[in-house]
Structure 1
Amino acid sequence: MQGRKTYTVEEAQLALESYCSYQDRSHKEVEEKLRKMNMIPAACEVIIQHLIQENYLNETRFAQSFARGKFRIKNWGRQRITRELKLRGISSYNIKLALKEISETEYQETFNVLAEKRWDQLKRESSLQRRRQKFLNYMQYRGWENGLIFQKLDELSR
């Protein structure tokens, strides 16, 4: 038999309360944590229900803080944020609410600053074609919309 620690429902509940207090978590992260703690499905349901009732676990709040953080800190565009939230099992409704956390003016400003910074970093590229391609790949990876990228690319490569 392995020397794995076993938890009572109360112990697991306390551990998950502090886990969720530290930072907002998605339901998927909490379920994964419970699985690692070897909790039985019935106990998991009880604990998750408790976390929701006591407001330790809130999918809307998680989605909103995730979107704000990834946009402001990592300069991700809406597409990347949406993709990452979907990977975390967040509902379409909550994804829409989360994206509303980003103002359109702030979005445009961040895009322009990031695009111009990246374009300047690629100055040493010998061919304009390679510079444009690297710029495009970078901005797409960050999750910015193609329409915005191509419009900016036309403006910058004049």
Structure 2
Amino acid sequence: MAFLLLISSAAALFVALRRGISMAHSARGTFAGLLCVPNMGLMLWVELPKAYTEGHYTAVNYHLLSWMFILIGAYIGYSNFPEAQISQATRQWSKGANRRHTIGFRCWRWIGRYLLSRNDLDYTWNSHNIWHYCVMLGVVAKLFGCRYDVVEFELTRCTL
């Protein structure tokens, strides 16, 4: 069990060192997959039988929520989510030659140019920051999972 964790962590570290510090988006996805998926599988293999035999599965739910937050954040970081879509939308809004220039269209075009510009997006809601937000939510869910692990360990009865 610990051997699987060591192998997956070593593979993720190998990918990080091989690709360098500033990894491409595909390398980030590989890194997160090598790090998260075996750990989540191992957690399910260890925690799930205990949870469903004793009837206490709140900790498992929090642990799964933690891994889901981390995987969602990794996917957002891998797909470069807001930057790619917003830059395409702002390019289309700036052209706008064949559309009627109504007040509503001018309002949306202004929002696309000034409120959702690439420079502002880079500072606040880029994929790397969203990944950090998802990891923070994952850590909070993991802390709740560890707390409920302790509570459910106290409630578990030994049948031997």
TM-score > 0.5 by shorter chain: no
Higher helix proportion (structure 1 or 2): 2
Q: Which has the larger radius of gyration?
A: 2
Higher RCO (C-alpha 8 Å, min separation 6): 2
Q: What TM-score, normalized by structure 1, do the two folds share? A: 0.23
